[in-house]
C-alpha cells in the first residue's frame, strides 16, 4: 500500500471518529499580505494593537457609517443633519487619505 494513501486514510478515520478537527478552508495556502504591507508601518502597529484589543480603526467605522448615511439618503432621508454628518465623515476620510499619502 502507498504510504501517502495510508496516511490520508488514517487522517480521514480520525476525523470521522472526532479525534481530529477537519481542516479549515484555505489551510496550507499562502497568505495574501498585500493589504497588510500597503499600510504605513506606524499604522500597522497601531492597527495591530487595536485589533488585538477588539477595537476597529476609526476609518473602518467611518466607512461603515458613511455607507449607512448614503443608504438613508437614497431611501429619502434628505435632512440637513444626515447630509452634514455625511459631509463631515467624508472630509475626515479625505484628510486621512491625504495624510497617509504624505507619509509615503
19 in Cβ contact with 11 (< 8 Å):
no
Does residue 27 belong to any structural domain of this protein? no
Write out pLDDT tens, residues 13-26. 888 888 888 777 77
Per-residue pLDDT, 25: 77
Q: How far apart are alpha carbons 51 and 90 in whole angstroms? A: 23
What is the number of structural domains in the chain?
Answer: 1
85 in Cβ contact with 72 (< 8 Å):
no
Does residue 22 belong to any structural domain of this protein? no
Does residue 66 belong to any structural domain of this protein? yes
Residues of the chain with pLDDT under 50: none
59 in Cβ contact with 43 (< 8 Å):
no
Does residue 24 belong to any structural domain of this protein? no
Domain hosting 77: range is 57-104
Write out pLDDT tens, residues 36-52. 787 788 888 887 888 88
Does residue 32 belong to any structural domain of this protein? no
Does residue 64 belong to any structural domain of this protein? yes
Amino acid at each position: 500500500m502507498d504510504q501517502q494513501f495510508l496516511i490520508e486514510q488514517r487522517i480521514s478515520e480520525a476525523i470521522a471518529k472526532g479525534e481530529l478537527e477537519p481542516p479549515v478552508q484555505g489551510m496550507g495556502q499562502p497568505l495574501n499580505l498585500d493589504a497588510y504591507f500597503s499600510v504605513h508601518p506606524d499604522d500597522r502597529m497601531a492597527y495591530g494593537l487595536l485589533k488585538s484589543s477588539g477595537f476597529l480603526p476609526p476609518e473602518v467605522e467611518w466607512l461603515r457609517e458613511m455607507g449607512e448615511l448614503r443608504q438613508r439618503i437614497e431611501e429619502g432621508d434628505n435632512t440637513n443633519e444626515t447630509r452634514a454628518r455625511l459631509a463631515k465623515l467624508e472630509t475626515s476620510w479625505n484628510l486621512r487619505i491625504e495624510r497617509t499619502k504624505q507619509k509615503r
